[in-house]
């Protein structure tokens, strides 16, 4: 499932914006049509691409779609130079995309096992690519639980998709916010609290494997709860974001604890991170 680097890793391919779907005030889902996807067709859930906006620069963005068949989806937060420039574009405009890069989630290890996917905030973007993959091959996986948390209910992304998921009989979905407000609440079964509270509630045992992506502050607490449920370090995978520039192990921007996170990450297994205390705070 893991793809090889393109023989021309610095060369972006042209991607035309097919549609722009607002998800919240500062998070939009961009769907791109890519006529020459190259290695992108072999993209594994959890990998990322380098998004290039001419005149603005490049930024790493997680692939958000399960399998890429001419259309690539990226869920982007407007946060700085490159993402601001993307938000100024319209349908029909083009950008450059190179990749995919990094390690993805270990789909082959997950196959046949019970799975808990845990996302905090925008961490839902790479988790969604794995979720879509699992749902497209549902009979190949065991029990499936999705836990998705955010600070405020208005930050919920993929609202319509989650409503559909909540009705499925073959998975459990927990959606948690620390603050739930608003007259326009959809028929989403909100839980008040954090993802860690949802892990306590969920029927997860030592047989589960996990995939986690969220803000760095979340990891220590999520891992601690999973360990209490009986999971071992080698059943826990986390996707980590570091500052990146080249994405191919050349510039050193992402180098931490002797590791190029652009090449050896962003997805790491927890037992390997125990030896990289600078990457996340391990208890
Ligand atoms: C593997 C990976 C996957 C990612 N996936 C996604 C994704 O799916 N969606 C998404 O939206 N983002 C994602 N990101 C994050 C995204 O790459 C960063 O937010 C990126 O910096 C955006 O680029 P920008 O040019 O728009 O913002 P920048 O201009 O780089 O600004 C980003 C933030 O850094 C601050 N900043 C900029 N320059 C400085 C400085 N000199 N000193 C201090 N602060 C500064 C800005 O104020 C802003 O808050 C991912 C990152 C990685 C590494
Ligand atoms: S981003 Fe350049 S070495 Fe990793």
pLDDT band at 6 (very low <50, low <70, confident <90, very high): very low
Q: How far is the CA of 79 from the centre of ligand 1 (A)?
A: 6
Supply the pLDDT for residue 3: 42
- The residue-averaged pLDDT of 86-111 equals 96
Higher pLDDT, 9 or 141: 141
- Is pLDDT above 90 for 118? yes
pLDDT band at 275 (very low <50, low <70, confident <90, very high): low
- Is pLDDT above 80 for 190? no
Is 143 near ligand 2, meaning CB less than 6 Å away?
Answer: no
Tell me the backbone φ, ψ of residue 125, rounded to 5 degrees. Answer: -60, -60
Residue 258: alpha-carbon gap to chain centroid: 24
- Is pLDDT above 50 for 2? no
Residue 107: alpha-carbon gap to chain centroid: 14
- Specify the DSSP class assigned to residue 253: T
- The residue-averaged pLDDT of 93-102 equals 94
Higher pLDDT, 111 or 240: 111
Supply the pLDDT for residue 4: 42
Are the C-beta atoms of residues 270 and 237 closer than 8 Å to each other? yes
Helix (H) or strand (E) holding 47: none
Here the tokens at position 97 are 């995309």
**Which of the residue ranges 8-17, 39-48, 74-83 would you say has the lowest mean pLDDT?**
8-17
Supply the pLDDT for residue 277: 62
Whether domain 13-101 has CATH 2.40.30.10? yes
In the chain, CATH 3.40.50.80 covers 107-239
Based on DSSP, count helices (H) and strands (E) in the chain, helices before strands: 8, 15
Higher pLDDT, 254 or 105: 105
Looking at every residue in the chain, the average pLDDT score rounds to: 89
Q: Which of 43, 53, 80, 213 to mutate to test the pocket of ligand 1 (most atoms within 8 A of CB)?
A: 80
- The residue-averaged pLDDT of 61-84 equals 92
In the chain, CATH 2.40.30.10 covers 13-101
Q: What is the pTM of this model?
A: 0.92
CATH-assigned architecture of domain 107-239: 3-Layer(aba) Sandwich (3.40)
Is 129 near ligand 1, meaning CB less than 6 Å away?
Answer: no
Is 262 near ligand 2, meaning CB less than 6 Å away?
Answer: yes
Q: What is the pLDDT of residues 230-273, one digit of tens each?
A: 999 999 999 988 778 888 888 888 888 788 888 888 999 999 88
Is 253 near ligand 2, meaning CB less than 6 Å away?
Answer: yes
Supply the pLDDT for residue 182: 64
| Short-list 191, 201, 203, CA closest to 114 | 203
pLDDT band at 84 (very low <50, low <70, confident <90, very high): very high
At which residue do the structure tokens 């080249």 appear? Answer: 246
- The residue-averaged pLDDT of 107-123 equals 97
Q: Which of 23, 61, 238 to mutate to test the pocket of ligand 1 (most atoms within 8 A of CB)?
A: 61
- Is pLDDT above 70 for 186? no
Is 85 near ligand 1, meaning CB less than 6 Å away?
Answer: no
């Amino acid at each position: 499932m893991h793809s090889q680097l393109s023989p021309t890793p610095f060369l972006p391919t042209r991607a035309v914006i097919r549609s722009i779907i607002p998800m919240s005030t500062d998070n939009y889902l961009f769907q791109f049509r890519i006529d020459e996807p190259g290695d992108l067709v072999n993209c594994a859930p959890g990998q990322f691409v380098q998004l290039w906006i001419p005149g603005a620069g490049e930024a790493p963005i997680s692939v958000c779609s399960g399998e890429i068949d001419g259309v690539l989806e990226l869920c982007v937060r407007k946060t700085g130079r490159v993402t601001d420039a993307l938000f100024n574009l319209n349908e029909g405009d083009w950008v450059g995309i190179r990749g995919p890069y990094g390690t993805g989630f270990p789909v082959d290890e997950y196959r046949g096992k019970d799975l808990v996917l845990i996302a905090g905030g925008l961490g839902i973007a790479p988790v969604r690519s794995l979720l879509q993959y699992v749902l497209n091959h549902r009979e190949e996986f065991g029990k499936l639980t999705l836990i998705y948390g955010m600070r405020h209910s208005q930050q919920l992304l993929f609202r319509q998709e989650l409503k559909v998921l909540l009705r499925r009989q073959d998975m459990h979905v927990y959606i948690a916010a620390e603050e739930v407000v608003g007259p326009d609440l959809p028929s989403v079964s909100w839980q008040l609290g954090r993802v860690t509270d949802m892990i306590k509630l969920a029927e997860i045992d030592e047989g589960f494997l996990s995939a986690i992506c969220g803000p760095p502050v979340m990891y220590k607490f999520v891992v601690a709860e999973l360990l209490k449920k009986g999971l071992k370090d080698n059943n826990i995978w986390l996707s980590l974001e570091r500052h990146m520039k080249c994405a191919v192990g050349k510039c050193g921007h992402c180098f931490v604890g002797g590791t190029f996170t652009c090449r050896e990450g962003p997805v790491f297994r927890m037992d390997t991170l125990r030896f990289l205390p600078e990457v996340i705070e391990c208890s």
